[in-house]
Amino acid sequence: MRLTRRGLLVGAGVGGALLIAFPLIPRRHAVPLVAGKGEHVVDAFLKLGKVRGPGGKSDCILTVAVPFCEMGQGITTLVAQIVAQEAGADWRKVAVEAAPISPAYADPVLSAKWAPLWMPAFASLGDDPAGILPRLHAERGPMMITADGTALAAFETPLREAGAALRALMAQAAADKWGVGWEECETRNSVVIHGNKRLSFAELLDSAVAYDPPDPPVLRAEPPRQRPGQFPEGFPASHPRLDLPAKVDGSFNFAGDIRLPGMVFAAIAHGPQGSSLLSSYDKQAAATVRGLVGVVRAKRWLAAAATNWFAADKAVRAMEPRFKADGPIADSEKVLLALDKALTRGEATRISAEGDPDALLQKPALSARYDVEPAFHAPLETASATARMRQGKLELWIATQAPERARRAAARAANLPRHDVIVYPLHAGGSFDARLDVRIAAEVAAIATTLGKPVQLTCSRWQESLAGIPRTPLSAQLDGALSPDKSRVLGWRAKLAVPATVRESGARLLDGWGVGNALDLQDRADPMACEGAMPRYRIPEKAVDHVPLALGLPTARFRGQAHGYTAFFTESFVDEMAHLAGREPLSFRVGMLDGEPRLVACLTGVARLAQWGGGIEASGQGIACHRMDLATADDTVRSGHIAVVATARQEAGVVRVERLSAFVDIGRIVNMDIARQQIEGGLMFGLAHAVGGSSGYAKGRPLAGRLSQLGLPLLADCPKVDIAFADSNEQPFDPGELGMVAVAPAVANALFSATGARFRRLPLISEGL
């Protein structure tokens, strides 16, 4: 995706600005960015323009295209920082914009990771991110999906190349003016420097675009890096978040803030969770609602549009829509019975194994069952999208983690070809993977085309809970065998009764399957649904078995993915084995982690940070650790490691978590401020789902449909948080998922220390204290 002029198209953009095409091996694609007046497109990720600053002085503004959904994780800042640091640009003169849908932003790393979903029979042929198959698959989509923390692995090098191309252009233009070699020039704060000579990017821009950057690009010797010791907590950020000022003053636009001329507002009613059809409604009842514009019905939902959202919602409720089942409908009692039957009598498939623990575990030293309830994503901003038909094209403003999939859904609903749907990706007010669900794109497109007006559809909190697809429930049976001296575990077996939740959600997202049709995949083996269940501990005989089952409850991706529950029961069971052996929990873990120096360092680091007291009875301390991996090119693996100590106390029949301490190794850190925010946010998210966040279902209706009913911790309930990072030279690992996975087991182990009772169900307080 580097700039090169020779043999490529050079044409006029909007306002006569220069557009420069670029090659993408193995194929070439159209230039995805559009230059405005006075702008120049340098690369798929970068364009330049001049603005008049104070006193009439010109400044050169870098605009970086961000091909990810900003959900509060700071990815827009991270992407812009990588380009700016490589280019030597002034951070105050950097802007961002959402990247358009283009194969130029296809993610081969995610494509390879998800190979079992798009090529299940031959997944091993597509699981190498450097291979041709995952790249072709990613480009054909194009696969522009914000998920699984692949951004740095897939795009750090192309982003650095974009910055390097700009640096070379500016240096060449300046070098020719000075009669020196461009390699001798340096760039800093948007200025090219050679000895005492200085020229700004703004002064060089018009001449710089006539040059060719070197191929391959000349990158800086060191990639972007911030050492933890240089940026302690509270230290001013070197690259403050670009979205922060607008979020502070309220001017930041989310999906629900879009306003168009003549726009109307829509509210919607969905059927019970599962597979249901709209059977009847009283359209006349809506006619009395002032401001009503129209009513739109579909096979599985009913919507009303009005001059304001409250009138639309009132009209929907007045019509009292009724639904009937045409397939499974979610019911917690049936789910619990299905899980129990699968775990006790179901046929298991061995997903992975090292040795064969079955003989050792005919009479295990310890057996324990763990259960996980379905959990809601519950982002602060409910789903919202705006659609407008104009000149035969459908425009769609939407906060989505999968813009191309949203475009396809809208095109099908509006009966349009894909290229006639224009998507404007917006920032999301939280997601936790909820915005991988693109059904709202189809719904708003259908409403807009039916009414012939611009429409903004926003889900109420109740509808978000009713129609939103939760994280899967599951049950797991763990068996362990100890060595004769009880110093280590010799045998380990994890048996998971869980639907093929990753295959199910993949069919909806990648293949456009409906909710009801995707339920048919639940009873198939799914190794990705068991990811993280194989312990990192050096146990001679260990295995993971999967019992897939049909629940009748649709399930979805969720922050932390399978690691969010596999870490819970793995680290809880290790703690139980340590207690059975009469061993101190930290040393018991470390003794079995030979070959995992980074994880050991996290455990010892968090022990120092939290002043670990050994987890003895009534100390109120619990410890847990976990590792997550991401395969990248050339058979390399990026890993994130975390260890957490939770401190809890019992007071008047209530257990409170007083402190969470975490030691984290995510390799080389690009932005310390964002890394700290991500881990801290992950810790709070993990705590929220350790103590709440779940709901049962009765006849397809959630029993906890409001935020106030989910048992989420209030600000007053939030513990003190301490975070430390390893100063590592390893390749960077995205911290977004990692922060939440070890919290629940650490809290569960702390509750055991504080109360003497084991908590084996998530949420932990669902069994009472």
Which of the pair, 635 or 387, is modelled with greater confidence?
Answer: 387
Same domain, 604 and 750: yes
Lowest mean pLDDT among 28-37, 38-47, 227-236, 449-458: 28-37
pLDDT in the model for residue 18: 36
Rounded to whole angstroms, the Cα distance separating 592 from 237 reads 39
User: Which of 421, 452, 467 is the last residue in one of the domains?
Assistant: 467
Domain range enclosing 762 = 332-376+470-767
Percent of the chain with pLDDT over 70: 95
Same domain, 320 and 460: yes
Mean residue pLDDT across the chain: 93
Q: What is the 8-class DSSP label of residue 391?
A: T
What CATH number is given to the structural domain containing 305?
3.30.365.10
Same domain, 165 and 260: no
Same domain, 537 and 603: yes
In a domain, 365, yes or no: yes
Rounded to whole angstroms, the Cα distance separating 95 from 437 reads 29
Same domain, 282 and 352: no
Same domain, 479 and 459: no
pLDDT in the model for residue 233: 87
pLDDT band with cut points at 50, 70 and 90 for residue 29: low
Same domain, 705 and 732: yes
**pLDDT per residue over 434-471, tens digit each?**
999 999 999 999 999 999 999 999 999 999 999 999 99
Q: What is the 8-class DSSP label of residue 117?
A: H
Instruction: Yes or no: say if 250 and 293 are a contact pair by the CB < 8 Å rule.
Output: no
Q: What is the 8-class DSSP label of residue 362?
A: G
What is the pLDDT averaged over residues 300-316?
98
Rounded to whole angstroms, the Cα distance separating 701 from 696 reads 8
In a domain, 612, yes or no: yes
Rounded to whole angstroms, the Cα distance separating 474 from 569 reads 11
In a domain, 101, yes or no: yes
With 90 as the cut, is the pLDDT of residue 6 above it? no
In a domain, 534, yes or no: yes
* Residue 560 one-letter amino acid: G
In a domain, 580, yes or no: yes
Q: Total structural domains in the chain?
A: 3
Q: What is the 8-class DSSP label of residue 395?
A: E
Half-sphere exposure of residue 327, counting CA atoms within 13 Å on the CB side? 19
In a domain, 116, yes or no: no
With 80 as the cut, is the pLDDT of residue 26 above it? no
User: Which of 428, 450, 467 is the last residue in one of the domains?
Assistant: 467
Residue 360: strand pairing partners: none
pLDDT band with cut points at 50, 70 and 90 for residue 20: very low
With 70 as the cut, is the pLDDT of residue 108 above it? yes
Same domain, 481 and 463: no
pLDDT in the model for residue 653: 63
Find the helix packing angle between 151-178 and 201-208, rounded to 10°: 90
- The separation between the first and the last C-alpha atoms of the chain, rounded to the nearest angstrom, is 57
pLDDT band with cut points at 50, 70 and 90 for residue 767: very low
pLDDT in the model for residue 1: 38
Lowest mean pLDDT among 12-26, 83-97, 713-727: 12-26
Same domain, 631 and 699: yes
Q: How distant is the alpha carbon of residue 303 from its chain centre? A: 30
In a domain, 714, yes or no: yes
User: Which of 423, 452, 467 is the last residue in one of the domains?
Assistant: 467
What is the pLDDT averaged over residues 324-335?
96
Same domain, 267 and 154: no
Same domain, 519 and 627: yes
Rounded to whole angstroms, the Cα distance separating 405 from 147 reads 13
Rounded to whole angstroms, the Cα distance separating 742 from 4 reads 47
With 50 as the cut, is the pLDDT of residue 685 above it? yes
Instruction: Yes or no: say if 757 and 654 are a contact pair by the CB < 8 Å rule.
Output: no
In a domain, 125, yes or no: no
Q: Are strands 637-651 and 654-665 parallel, antiparallel or unpaired?
A: antiparallel
Output the CA torsion 582→584→585→589 (10° steps). -100
**pLDDT per residue over 128-156, tens digit each?**
999 999 999 999 999 999 999 999 999 99
**pLDDT per residue over 183-212, tens digit each?**
999 999 999 999 999 999 999 999 999 999
**pLDDT per residue over 497-551, tens digit each?**
999 999 999 999 999 999 999 999 999 999 999 999 999 999 999 999 999 999 9
Rounded to whole angstroms, the Cα distance separating 626 from 664 reads 10
What is the pLDDT averaged over residues 601-606?
98
SS3 of 164-206: HHHHHHHHHHHHHHHCCCHHHCEEECCEEEECCEEEEHHHHHH
Structure tokens at 753: 């220390």
Same domain, 719 and 585: yes
